[in-house]
């Protein structure tokens, strides 16, 4: 089995007050999307800005908690964390929302308890950015992820270099003006 795809899926469910109203969104199969047909249905969804904030937080803490000395594919050395980088960049249009920074900070505070990292949030963000850029294995893991799961044409795919630049912009947005 590919190391890019996980052989199992774990779900984490939590209950808390809605921070934003849900919005109704079109749901379209790959077949209809690629054949440019209409969506089959609509469902209520979480605000994409909330998803972007959660993706940012998940990526930051997972990069900092990653241990390359552990077996590849283990919880401590999981190459699939690159999905968060790819998804975050795909959601970049929602990052400019004025609410993003505060929602992201809340998500980061909640996620800080998931590892033994004791850095400040700003240091945590800076460290993840530095690690993402300097650890060359991330580029390979990202490209393997995109190659395996993206159905976009190659010229439309989000490249690692582009993803890192977008992540860097978001990091700088999060740590500026404090």
CA–CA distance, 88 with 73 (Å, rounded to integer):
22
Q: What is the pLDDT of residue 134?
A: 96
Domain ranges of the chain: 47-175
**Residue 45 φ/ψ, nearest 5 degrees:** -130, 155
Q: Record the tokens describing residue 53, joined without a space.
A: 């904030």
Phi, psi (rounded to 5 degrees) for 106:
-60, -45
Q: Look at residue 106 in the predicted model and tell me its pLDDT.
A: 87
Residues paired with residue 25 on neighbouring β-strands, in sequence order? 43
**pLDDT tens string for the chain (178 positions)?**
455 555 665 656 666 666 677 888 888 887 888 888 888 888 888 888 889 999 999 999 999 999 999 999 888 899 989 999 999 999 999 888 778 888 888 888 887 776 666 778 899 999 999 999 999 999 999 999 998 888 788 888 999 999 999 999 999 999 876 5
Q: Are 42 and 25 in contact, with CB atoms under 8 Å apart? A: yes
Q: Please state, in angstroms and as integers, the Cα–Cα distance from residue 130 to each residue in 3, 58, 165, following that order.
A: 24, 16, 12
Q: Would you state the pLDDT for residue 2?
A: 52
Taking the CB of residue 56, how many other CB atoms lie within 10 A of it?
Answer: 29
Residue 160: Cβ within 10 Å count: 21
Rounded to whole angstroms, the Cα distance separating 18 from 73 reads 34
pTM score: 0.82
């Amino acid at each position: 089995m590919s190391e890019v795809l996980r052989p199992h899926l774990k779900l984490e469910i939590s209950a808390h007050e809605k921070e934003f109203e849900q919005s109704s969104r079109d749901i379209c199969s790959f077949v209809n999307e690629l054949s440019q047909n209409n969506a089959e249905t609509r469902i209520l969804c979480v605000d994409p800005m909330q998803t972007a904030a959660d993706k940012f937080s998940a990526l930051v803490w997972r990069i900092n908690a990653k241990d390359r000395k552990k077996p590849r594919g283990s919880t401590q050395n999981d190459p699939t964390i690159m999905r968060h980088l790819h998804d975050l960049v795909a959601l970049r249009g929602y990052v400019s929302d004025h609410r993003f920074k505060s929602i992201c900070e809340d998500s980061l505070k909640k996620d800080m308890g998931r590892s033994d990292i004791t850095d400040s949030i700003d240091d945590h963000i800076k460290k993840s950015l530095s690690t993402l850029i300097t650890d060359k294995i991330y580029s390979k893991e990202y490209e393997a992820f995109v190659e395996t799961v993206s159905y976009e044409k190659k010229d439309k795919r989000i490249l690692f270099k582009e993803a890192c630049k977008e992540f860097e912009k978001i990091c700088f947005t999060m740590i500026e003006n404090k």
